Chains A and B, each alone.
Chain A
Amino acid sequence: MPEAIQPVRIEVTVNGHKYQRDIEPRMLLVEFIREELGLTGTHIGCDTSYCGACTILLNGKPIKSCTALAVQADGCELMTVEGLERDDGLHPLQTAFSEHHGLQCGYCTPGMLMSSYNLLEENPNPSRDEICKGIAGNVCRCTGYQNIVKAVDAAAKALSYEITTGKPTTATEEA
């Protein structure tokens, strides 16, 4: 073991807020988010880069925060599940997951939401197959995925409605 480990100062922007911390180089990004910043919406699931429960966006792209070091995020913009919520309530994806029973125990949900959010940013009208591919890096042990796919599809329609009408909506109104 090396003798003197100097802490490393990092600065990150998470959901629009700037944070500066001195951390050990070995700290995982997901630990940083949960323990240092107290943002416990991001879950630690398998912890082996398999399940995707820890998915967050780093500079707009989904990554597994259990398989990144906090020092690697220095200077980056992060978005966690807490960043989805809007001033007037839930994001249409969150509403759709609720309406369509896209969760049971809820453990995988933060990761599912972040992967789905990225999918709909890149592809606002995904086919069923594209939705399945979009969440392929996220494991759910409860739902069998059927309702998750339905929820993402409903959210896509709700978001399209917002874009075409310029009015905020929820998945319910669109359905």
Chain B
Amino acid sequence: MNENSYFNPEDMRAQCDAAINNLEEDNRANGIIEEKIMKFITEHTLDGKAFEAAKQQMLDYVAVLHAMKLANEADIADFRYLKLMSIGSEIDGNFILSEKEDALSERKINGEKVEKYRNKAQKEQSMLIR
């Protein structure tokens, strides 16, 4: 953590949701493209080298589409995980680090005061006994 660290679970969850939605939408679109390509390949059974090459090209695009879908799947899973981690209250690095420093120095001052008054009290007591 440093002064620039900032974590707002509520905002994070909302951002995760938005990202997941976008990626899912993206994968739906990829799915439709894939369907169309496969339909084209199966419906058009033309012979010949040129068509074979075109067909392979389309199959290669489908392979790439699958990889894109997998990338989205991986990110969706990661956003879900991040969302799961985003609980509790806001954490502001700047605030926490300076407050920590303040608490430490306050404690030091108070500690010194304890020492001071304890010594004073002891002195007064010993004077009283005498």
Is chain B found bound to chain A in the same assembly? no
